[in-house]
Structure 1
Amino acid sequence: MGMIRIASVNVNGIRAATRKGMGAWLEQAGVDILTIQEVRGQREHLEAVLPDWHLVEDESSQKGRAGVAIASRIPFADTRVGLGDEDVDSSGRWIEADVEVDGAALTVASAYVHSGEVGTPRQDAKWLFLDAMVDRFEALNQPGALAVVTGDLNVGHRELDIKNWRGNRKKSGFLPEERAYFDRFFGPAGEPIECVDGVTRTGLGFVDVGRTFAGEVDGPYTWWSNRGQAFDNDTGWRIDYHAATPELASRVTSYRVDRYPSYDTRWSDHAPVVADYDLSATAHGR
């Protein structure tokens, strides 16, 4: 099975998403690996929705909050939970799994970055988490490595990623200092990058699969506020990502956001982000 489909979604509570119709989407989506954020539940709740899948999860230390998981049709070769040292609040926010496909080793991460709030401890926790992500991105991007960090990263990287970017420049999720991390994530590896906050830093070499496939267009958005008519007017944010190493990004064959047909058919305030990767030995002449 050289072709593998990876989907990522913040379910906003696995039990609520299931009640609202997540199962119907999953039945027709053809997903091989599903990364989940904001599980807000225990393993038993995941097993009820995904009974025939290999599962690994990290439940948040705060009951009913956060939680990340990876569900796979392919057995795991290894799994890892957490990010950074004891100073980083990564409980229920970072999990990795390794799988083998056609002899190729693939690492998939499910990440749920803090939403943050300017001037509060929530933002301090977000800065520490983003710092730890820098270290992990550097470690993952080894020559020829096949790795992808997926999930709700809670930052719109560019003006194209938020419909109302002008009104959010001083709010968590679109602060220049936050966006600068993404300049680094997606800047050429080892090269100096002039970041949006005016500071020059070193690129980490990952590829933003969604932006690469969509091109220089607004969105496509992946999250919409429940307030007002945000969904109906497509006043959204693109904050759910597939961030891939260059070798893996070169094997992407398709990418899409599974936007809901209508407001009342949504089973989460986030839409699934789905990408196909060709891991066959013959991909790109291999």
Structure 2
Amino acid sequence: MPETLRLASVNVNGVRAAFRKGMGDWLDQRGVDVLAMQEVRADDSHLEELFGRVEDRGWHILHDPCAIKGRAGVAIASRVPAVEHRIGLGGLDLQESIQSSGRWLEADFDFGGTPFTVVSNYTHSGEVDTPRQEAKWAFLDAMGPRMNELADARDLVAIVGDFNVGHREFDIKNWRGNVKRSGFLPRERAYFDRFFGPRGEVVAGVDGTEGPGFGWIDVGRRWAGEVDGPYTWWSNRGQAFDNDTGWRIDYHVVTPALAERVENYAIDRAAAYDERWSDHAPVVVDYRLGAWS
């Protein structure tokens, strides 16, 4: 068993297009043990074909496609098979579940006796004053209770992927120009205040509301400290990538016990605009396995 587990997450912005642009080469070289993907926009057969082409074969694929064809879709590719997996986020009504299909996939692993749960999450992007934002509110409402259930059941859990919210001003280069846009609304950010607040304690959100904290850890912010970024997504408009005018909306959100096992954190930002295979950069984290010492 390896001493560390390398867990990578990325919004692939269409996995078939990503492979055409070089994702397979990145995966061949990166030594990833578990890869969580969002916005897959493919069928099971496409994933099986693409990952069968990877030079070092042996991937096990879990996939939840979106009920609305050509939209969303989450998947987890792993070097060892999952012991168990679950699809979907509870607490949603039927219509919300349809809108939220292809957005939440949980997989339980056993790495040499160490239980480890990975969730590939693709939160709605939303749009102010539209049904898309209502779907996002419903999804965020359901996320907190599920986080409590996961934390109660398991010590080592990572919810990773595209959360489509910049939590703090550090997380968006042009935050002042985005305070009224979905992705940086005070109400959205208040959910994250609670996600990362001490569990069970009353947490004041940036929007003035109060609620109980959930006690999870933002690995990227803990690793980078109180600095701008580092960003994970850049608009294709203008010179956003070249000027690093980005957003940090891709996270590894982990239980406190797992946060103590972080060995390394990296954002695989492409060297140049024309070398990108997605508009998001992979977030790659090494977690120490084995008995706690």
| TM-score, length-scaled by structure 1 | 0.97
Native 8 Å contact 1:2 1:101 kept in 2: no
What SS class does the counterpart of residue 125 from structure 1 fall into? helix
How far is the alpha carbon of 1:144 from its aligned partner? 6.1
Where do residues 1-286 of structure 1 align in structure 2 (5 Å cutoff)? 1-51=2-52, 52-84=58-90, 85=92, 86=94, 87-88=96-97, 89-142=99-152, 145-281=155-291, 283=292, 285=293
| CA–CA separation in structure 1 for the residues paired with 2:138 and 2:161 | 18
| CA–CA separation in structure 1 for the residues paired with 2:47 and 2:284 | 20
Native 8 Å contact 1:141 1:205 kept in 2: no
| CA–CA separation in structure 1 for the residues paired with 2:89 and 2:179 | 28
How far is the alpha carbon of 1:75 from its aligned partner? 1.4
Alignment RMSD, CA only?
Answer: 1.0
| CA–CA separation in structure 1 for the residues paired with 2:264 and 2:153 | 23
| CA–CA separation in structure 1 for the residues paired with 2:81 and 2:66 | 24
How far is the alpha carbon of 1:2 from its aligned partner? 3.3
For 1:97, the aligned partner's letter is: A
| CA–CA separation in structure 1 for the residues paired with 2:3 and 2:81 | 15
What SS class does the counterpart of residue 152 from structure 2 fall into? coil
Native 8 Å contact 1:144 1:247 kept in 2: no
What SS class does the counterpart of residue 171 from structure 1 fall into? coil
Higher mean C-alpha deviation, range 223-232 or range 131-140: 131-140
| CA–CA separation in structure 1 for the residues paired with 2:136 and 2:40 | 19
| CA–CA separation in structure 1 for the residues paired with 2:207 and 2:181 | 14
For 1:163, the aligned partner's letter is: K
Higher mean C-alpha deviation, range 139-148 or range 54-63: 139-148
Native 8 Å contact 1:78 1:99 kept in 2: yes
How far is the alpha carbon of 1:81 from its aligned partner? 0.3
What SS class does the counterpart of residue 138 from structure 1 fall into? helix
- Could you tell me which runs of 5 or more consecutive residues in structure 2 were left unpaired when the two chains were aligned: 53-57
| TM-score, length-scaled by structure 2 | 0.95
How far is the alpha carbon of 1:212 from its aligned partner? 0.4
* Number of residues of Structure 1 aligned to a counterpart in Structure 2: 283
For 2:253, the aligned partner's letter is: A
- Could you tell me which runs of 5 or more consecutive residues in structure 1 were left unpaired when the two chains were aligned: none
